[in-house]
Structure 1
Amino acid sequence: MASPQKGQPNYIAPSIEPGDSGIWATCEMGKEGKCTAELKDLFEEYAAKLYGGSEAQAEEASDDEAEIDIEAEIKKEVQGMKSNSTRKEALFQPVKVDIQCVLFFKTREPIEPVEFVHRICQDALEGSIKKHRWVKRLTPMTMMGKATAEGLEKVAQSVLQPVFHAEGTQARKFAIRPTRRNHNVMKRDEIIRQIASAVGPGHSVDLKSYDYLILVDVYRNILGMSVIGSDFEQLKQFNLAEIYDPTPKPKVEEGNDATPNTGRKDKMQAADAEK
């Protein structure tokens, strides 16, 4: 195995860090690599559509900085550090996670994950052309933090304040939906209670007719949070596969319109009750 050349730093794989923002994604089993490529194309297309003007200005500023410090750029190139990727590509950075069918993309400004994912799903619902095959659900994360009670409190203060605590904010109905992956330290009920406490008095819980849904994703020692609008269910919970190709609803049995055929699970439960 060849050792790195002198003066060339070892490659450090990107990781999810407190303070990051990003987007979780799910895909077909065994298609993580292909899905990563699909999402990169999809995200870059929408970055150009939504932030094209500001991105062009950012690239011009970057060019000016490069002219000022040519010597530093040459040094980077000699050391093998110069990147061929554009600033637009750097808006999204895939991070490897040790879970099948799950991906994570770190994002940076001007990307706002919730608005960004909402626009993608809204366009899909309104009939935009499907350009991907393996992508399923997208879950935006406004801010990441440590998966501890202190970390959750810090993230909650930052993410919830503009929605629930800003001056002039009216009473809102909210729901909380936590997801845990490879994590068994913070219990689901504990997470819910702490977030409800952070929302504070003046707002009420409504699991079905909420104004806002608070999503919390915990992965190993890191967690993320975002606040989603009331059209989350209409947008199939940001599941692009369901938006483009909805799963057929259970059929109603003939001659018994009031009783839907809910499938094998209910039959098994009925059988168990008879024993």
Structure 2
Amino acid sequence: MAGKRSNPSQGGGDRRKKKYRSDGTPVWGKRYIDGPGVWVTCIKGKEKQAVGELYELFKGLGSELWPEAEEGKADDDDSDDEPEEGLSIEAQIASEVSAMKKPKKEQRFTNCQTNTPCLVFLSCKPPVDPVKLVMKHLYNVEETGLTQTRYSMRFTPVSAACVTNLQEIQILCRTVLEPFFGDGVEGTIKYKIELKIRNHTTLARMTLIEAIAGCVPERHKVDLDDPELVIIVEVFKSICGVSVVRDYYKLQKFNAVEIASTHASENPSTSINRIE
């Protein structure tokens, strides 16, 4: 006997129904790369090692940039000590069971599978700001000439992400760009859109650029040679990430290895620029 088909009216079709925001605009799909976060290119075949060193790097930078959150976490950790001596066996068991039922602490950084050679993505949880995190690291490399990593090269922050649909992208861009180009910003800002597309063929490059540029107020001007701000747009498969940064070209398009190489050439007495 043929299998019984599910009735859409009884829940089988719920998964096909569109979802909508509170303002009535549709949400077009599911994201598998969960932003905000940081895209990092790495040496081919060393993706796993790159993720490991990035956890250590980001953890250290996060503790330095957001120490208050670390202090709160330390206080929470102190509350998970072993049961006090002198308690009865029943009380100790009850205490241990209670500790086991406590929700696990959310990690600041999470590796999201890309299944793509030379490319990893680490999502960031509050209070981490991916742009501040990446800028802190790159300025450190510029100052010291040390990349602090062996396998990781280019760092691209993502302030927020959405599915790669023009309407979704424009909604996202208006939100991300507002603090940098909105009504509260005085004067005219020179900007450039830096678009990178990987494993995506649905939307054409110029279509995306025009849609993003349309989200910037007309009083601001495009400057391809000397922009004050760079709008970074990273499209990967069905995901689009956006951020706004400064010093993009001064910092070698956020390539830590190139920054360290430049430092070495300007300071011949310094040692090798990679961590050995």
Relative distance call for 1:226 and 1:26 in structure 2 (3 A) is same
Q: Distance in 2 between matches of 1:157 and 1:71?
A: 48
Relative distance call for 1:141 and 1:53 in structure 2 (3 A) is same
Q: CA deviation at 1:15?
A: 3.5
1:217-232 equivalences in 2 (<5 Å): 217-229=234-246, 231-232=247-248
Relative distance call for 1:65 and 1:218 in structure 2 (3 A) is farther
Query: What are the ranges of 5 or more consecutive residues in structure 2 without an aligned counterpart?
Result: 1-30, 84-94, 266-276
Q: CA deviation at 1:166?
A: 4.0
Q: Which residue of 2 aligns with 1:194?
A: 211
Within the alignment, does 1:236 sit opposite 2:252 as a pair? Answer: yes
Letter of the 1:228 counterpart? V
Deviations 1:50-90 (A, max 9, x none): 112232124435766999x98665347xxxxx75xx65xx1
Equivalent pairs: percent with the same residue?
27
Q: 1:154 aligns with which of 161, 171, 175?
A: 171
Would you say the 8 A contact 1:145–1:154 is kept in 2? no
Letter of the 2:257 counterpart? A
Relative distance call for 1:47 and 1:168 in structure 2 (3 A) is closer
Q: Which residue of 1 aligns with 2:155?
A: 138
1:7-26 equivalences in 2 (<5 Å): 15-17=32-34, 20-26=35-41
The count of corresponding residues between Structure 1 and Structure 2 is 223
Within the alignment, does 1:127 sit opposite 2:144 as a pair? Answer: yes
Q: Distance in 2 between matches of 1:226 and 1:59?
A: 31
Q: Distance in 2 between matches of 1:157 and 1:47?
A: 28
Q: Which residue of 2 aligns with 1:35?
A: 50
| TM-score, structure 2 as length reference | 0.73
Q: Which residue of 2 aligns with 1:271?
A: none
Q: Distance in 1 between matches of 2:234 and 2:72?
A: 34
Moved more, 233-242 or 163-172: 163-172
Q: Distance in 1 between matches of 2:175 and 2:96?
A: 39
Relative distance call for 1:49 and 1:128 in structure 2 (3 A) is farther
Letter of the 2:168 counterpart? G
Q: Distance in 2 between matches of 1:113 and 1:121?
A: 12
Q: Which residue of 1 aligns with 2:272?
A: none
| TM-score, structure 1 as length reference | 0.74
Letter of the 1:116 counterpart? L
Q: Which residue of 2 aligns with 1:74?
A: 100
Q: Distance in 2 between matches of 1:30 and 1:246?
A: 26
Deviations 1:162-184 (A, max 9, x none): 11004243210110011111111
Q: Which residue of 2 aligns with 1:54?
A: 69
Deviations 1:103-157 (A, max 9, x none): 0000011111111101100011001644311110000000001100111012101
Q: Distance in 2 between matches of 1:213 and 1:62?
A: 40
SS state of the match for residue 210, structure 1?
Answer: coil
Would you say the 8 A contact 1:163–1:169 is kept in 2? no
Q: Which residue of 1 aligns with 2:59?
A: 44
Q: Distance in 2 between matches of 1:128 and 1:73?
A: 45
Q: CA deviation at 1:246?
A: 4.3
**Segments of 4+ moved more than 4 angstroms:** 61-67, 69-73, 246-249
Would you say the 8 A contact 2:146–2:260 is kept in 1? no
SS state of the match for residue 211, structure 2?
Answer: helix
Q: Which residue of 2 aligns with 1:270?
A: none
Q: Which residue of 1 aligns with 2:13?
A: none
Q: Which residue of 2 aligns with 1:212?
A: 229
